[in-house]
Structure 1
């Protein structure tokens, strides 16, 4: 943990870790997770399902021939990280993790210290995609002439419009060669605002007290992140329904709260 870290302010990465039952969190993060669970009882289930979506997304990319991955806004290491999934389905795959949180990067580097040949962690911000692409470790592990899988999952709803997240994704996808893939996931509040406006405001209030307030978007704005790309079936859908092997076993909340898609660059 960096010496200047403020453990009294809920941190979005640590809140997510707490929701997943992890140990890399503090009292403020656990309290935020508890409040979220009170406001939205499905929160912990969605956190677990989001990790499952990432696993399915990486597997699809590997099946499509992708052997290098860039995971931006990776969050704290959890069970089954991107490099573990990629190595399982495509041994030797190269992975670069990027996050702007020094604590996240410190944890990730400690976890990955034994595998510097195929995995790297860089402290960079999605809002400055050129720095991510130009970083020496990115250039060391990523060949931009070959298909690249970029994951920007669970982070875009923390980037305000004023920081131009659509432009940042455009820079990243422009750098991909044909056959590259983009995986995105994003919180939407359209249906929740319509059916449960008070609960939605309460949920946003929890994140308003964290290090990164949440800014949900509507479906149309989320679809814009896929401009110029070809979404794989079933397109942009709730994470619980994106290529789930056994959807009947998932306690499905019919409100689309967390949308996800994987798309290919033609």
Structure 2
């Protein structure tokens, strides 16, 4: 009888211990989940994007190119039958990309050379929809960099310059621009590689490779770090399909 009683007491104690362990585990688990949710909220990039996006602008250009009406007419053989070739005709073209405000007081904007190449008219559109005619200050095809200036800008935000020499492979990065004309598009990724010279026409480039999505229209946009500082100007992608495959350069 005594042994049976001891067994019942022992069994009840084990049950209570098991129940306490389950309750304690559930409490700790809930604390862990709450902690993870808190970390996710803290790791949101919303504030960073809100402060940096106004400094990235959309650029639209217009220009004219001369087109030979029939290139065969330049051949002496065809001149015997059709006479002298007609002068080339002019055809208007349009295009665009993105730009980054680096001096909001004087209105200086950095973009890519290939974005404004051969442009007769350059327009800059700010985040609030206001637009300005821009003047080309200077451009370098080798590094694919161009400087624009807009006159009498109202107060516009500028992105502080970072130090790309401090970058390491694996650092987080954000790309901001207007792919396919979709202004204020933000994508995220990491620094995939450094010191890529292949994308430079003069062979002396020092390009940053990133897997942050870059598409047509992103050219001239900002590549920033998690401090909101400018570390590169998005310039090109490596692709066989025309779309992003995770290899972009700035």
Q: Normalising to structure 2: TM-score of the pair?
A: 0.25
Structure 1 or 2: more helix by fraction: 1
Structure having the larger proportion of residues in strand:
2
Q: Which has the higher contact order (CA 8 A, sep 6+)?
A: 1
